[in-house]
Amino acid sequence: MRPVEEQMAILERGAMTITEREELKTKLAKGKPLTVKLGVDPTAADLHLGFTVVLRKLRQFQDLGHQAVLLIGSFTAQVGDPTGRDKTRPQITEEQVLKNAEHYLEQASRILDRDKLIVRYNGEWFSKMTFKEVIALLAKATLARTLERDDFQKRFRENLPIHMHEFVYPLMQGYDSVVLKADVELGGNDQTFNLMVGRDLQREEGMEPQVCLTMPLLEGLDGVRKMSKSYGNYVAIADPPNEKVGKLMSVNDELMFKYLELLTDIPLPQIAEWRKGVKDGTVHPMTVKKAMAHAITEIYDGKEAADAAIANFENVFSNKEIPDDIPEYKLKEGGVPELDLLELLVENKLAATKSEARRVIQQGGVTCDGEKVTGFNLTMPKADSFILKVGKRKFLKVIR
């Protein structure tokens, strides 16, 4: 294995906290592969770049020769992690969780070395627990300690319900670490409380406590809120290359440096040099942003696709051209004097929902042959075809 300081330099890249740093160095110094756990509750099928931040850290442990364990919360996902929530998560069925897990693993395999990855499901042990064993687990935590959580405190102050099963979740996540004998657990920085419970439970079992390494939450394309499908500010792993590049080129100049550090393998000295160049005016931000968008797209789609997507971006947005390969939509025979624009955008996947379509139109983000659309019903142009543009990156050719 590589020297400890060399491993630490790799593992500390982008990390927000390491509890405890010296403990991690001691574990690494033993020269044996560490068991590194990442727990995920697959409550949705598609992964976006926000999820990849911690997956990439797990891959770094793999590349350094350690044993990565991806723990699928087949049981805990049915309970629902209360972290960061101002209301109880809706519960989902085991069937939904397992179906989502298949898609999750398929996409996560673009980052992780699947041949060297251990995948476990916590339904293996939780589904077999007796009520007596559940009570014994509950006895290892106090209500006062659990109420220290910011999200619970906020709900308590605002007289919002906190259901009993939500109190159990951190204990379940911690118990996973006991079962897996984790040396290190990874998570987002919002998971610190849950990860620390794992340390406590391992100590009670006479085990050496795990080191908790947390990664920052990734802001979405708006640069304000965390990346989320519900906010519409996300870049999905499965997005086509042109769409990935188009979305990534829309981030602000400061956020692109965070994306470079957390989402690419570009060396930190190079990123620092670019940051300095942008600040003193010797490097144009667009140059750096293209490098960032290309590097991320190449990871998931390959160099050839990334090259083509950057070239397409330059043609469409730098040269103000309309792409050649835009999708087409043929109107039904007979036609109508007006089109339901909300329905059209959703049907052609230019907006995820009618609410999103309505918001984009109200914000002036939809044009028809270059003219801004202001209403939700579009008066049909006289031409045989016309081009709808939604936002900066999406086009649709409508044919009579």
In the chain, domain spans: 4-215, 239-318, 328-399
Superfamily of domain 239-318 in CATH is: Tyrosyl-Transfer RNA Synthetase (1.10.240.10)
* pLDDT class of 159 with cuts at 50, 70, 90: confident
Superfamily of domain 328-399 in CATH is: RNA-binding S4 domain (3.10.290.10)
Residue 300 has a pLDDT of 94
| CA distances from residue 297 to 64, 294, 316 in whole angstroms, order as listed | 24, 5, 18
| CA distances from residue 400 to 322, 333, 335, 336, 380 in whole angstroms, order as listed | 20, 8, 7, 10, 9
Q: In the predicted model, is pLDDT for residue 109 greater than 80? A: yes
Residue 210 has a pLDDT of 98
For helices 268-280 and 253-263, angle between their N-to-C axes, nearest 10 degrees: 170
For the segment 329-360, what is each residue's pLDDT rounded down to a tens digit? 888 765 566 788 888 898 888 888 888 888 88
The pair of structure tokens assigned to 152 is 């619970």
For the segment 240-299, what is each residue's pLDDT rounded down to a tens digit? 999 999 899 989 999 999 999 999 999 999 999 999 999 999 999 999 999 999 999 999
For the segment 387-400, what is each residue's pLDDT rounded down to a tens digit? 888 887 788 888 87
The pair of structure tokens assigned to 256 is 């692109």
Residue 60 has a pLDDT of 97
* CATH fold for domain 4-215: Rossmann fold (3.40.50)
* pLDDT class of 82 with cuts at 50, 70, 90: low
Q: In the predicted model, is pLDDT for residue 365 greater than 70? A: yes
Residue 41 has a pLDDT of 85
**Quick one: what percent of the chain has pLDDT higher than 90?**
52
Q: What is the mean pLDDT of residues 181-206?
A: 94
Q: In the predicted model, is pLDDT for residue 90 greater than 90? A: no
* Residue in 200, 182, 262, 175 with CA at minimum distance from that of residue 227: 262
Query: Residue-wise over 177-193: b if at least 16 C-beta within 10 A, else e?
Result: bbbbebbbbbbbebbbb
* pLDDT class of 190 with cuts at 50, 70, 90: confident
Residue 85 has a pLDDT of 44
Q: In the predicted model, is pLDDT for residue 81 greater than 70? A: no
